Amino acid sequence: MAPMPKTMFGVVIPRPGGPDVLEYKTGLPVPSLGEGQILVRNEYVGVNYIDTYFRTGLYKPPSPSSNSNHPSTQRLKRHPLSLPLITGKEAAGTITASSHPSYPVGSRVVYLADNTYAQYTLLTFPLTQATILPASLTPETACAAYLQGLTALTFIREAAGITQQLGISEGPWTLVHAAAGGTGSMLVQILAVMGAKIIATAGGKQKCELAKKLGAGWVVDSSLPQEEVIRQVKEITNNKGVDVIFDGVGKATFGTVDLDVVARKGTIIVFGNASGAVEPVDLFRLMPKNIKIMRPSMPGYITTPEEKETFTSELFDLLVTGKIHANIHQIYPLKNVAQAHIDLESRKTTGKLLLKVE
């Protein structure tokens, strides 16, 4: 086996700001392997909205001693501790060094962890968020589907409580905002497999057509005035309203569209801040229809090895059998990460953005 290099390349955030603060650097130290750890040579890295939250300072970066894989609940006032930061939350690659018996060198893995915008990432025991890939899944597909796929699957199963697999259009009324995006496209596909009645919102004709192709029974152009979006959703449901809303947009949709179109005893699941964070809610607004609101975090649903195994196995089965697929918008070289952030924040992308580590 060739000796491990002492340095690597990666992307560093020296201070909060726009995409221009992302600095591609060489000569970064390769992490040293400790007890119960594995070192992964990354091949593909996922680009997610949470990466932009850490870049801008909306979320506080993890402390150097933190083992948190997804500290998305740590909101900030401006830090500036723990900077410079190598961000990134998911990747797939090959184990190049290991002190953990369940993760041998040479295995290909997909994982959720901090510091993935780099050539190498060190994962620390317990490795509940690293999974050895079956031969039937490529690192590219796994990386494109893992975070958003697990997010969609756990939110549908656990947050929404949708477990039935009845057949097309026999399940509850659901509304998926930003349905052509990474998580939205996974939500639509998995909800379709489970037989939900799916209304999808997406911005523009092209994204609406994609949402329909992914399995949405009805699509509404979110670029229309919100009054028209509300009218169309109510018309589609015969004024019943929507049983479960999956909202990754946040501020622009929660207080207006969601609270208006949710059904009596319905559930609103807010999981993203693409338009800004949702402002504090007057709980009295929930009373007339007995509305339930959730702000879940996917890692909280796969905390134990058993939970991770259950949801990962189901996700991989859906991918391998072709029931769902990873919709990849574009693959960028790692050094072009700033352009990937620009494209993601423009909301003109459809599906998953990946970085190729070469």
To which residue do tokens 């690659």 refer? 93
- pLDDT confidence of 277, banded at 50, 70, 90? confident
Mean pLDDT of 134-163: 95
Closest CA to 182 of 346, 339, 49: 49
% of the chain surpassing 70 pLDDT: 91
Residue 121 clears pLDDT 80, i.e. is over it = yes
User: 129 or 248: which carries more pLDDT confidence?
Assistant: 248
* Residue 185, φ and ψ in degrees, nearest 5: -65, -35
- What's the whole-number average pLDDT of the chain? 90
Dihedral of the alpha carbons of 136, 137, 139, 140, in degrees to the nearest 10: 120
User: 79 or 316: which carries more pLDDT confidence?
Assistant: 316
Residue pair 111/90 in contact (Cβ under 8 Å)? The answer is yes
Closest CA to 52 of 358, 356, 353: 353
Mean pLDDT of 216-235: 97
Q: Among 224-228, 239-243, 274-278, whose mean pLDDT is lowest? A: 274-278
Alpha helices in 304-355 (DSSP H): 305-320, 337-345
Residue 163 clears pLDDT 90, i.e. is over it = no
Mean pLDDT of 285-289: 96
**Gap between the Cα atoms of 37 and 354, Å rounded:** 25
Residue 337 clears pLDDT 70, i.e. is over it = yes
- pLDDT confidence of 347, banded at 50, 70, 90? confident
User: 340 or 60: which carries more pLDDT confidence?
Assistant: 340
What residue ranges in 135-286 does DSSP mark as E strands? Answer: 173-176, 197-202, 218-221, 242-247, 262-270
To which residue do tokens 């999808």 refer? 200
**Would you state the pLDDT for residue 348?**
80
pLDDT tens track for 56-103: 988 877 655 444 444 333 333 333 336 788 999 999 999 999 999 999
Residue pair 185/151 in contact (Cβ under 8 Å)? The answer is no
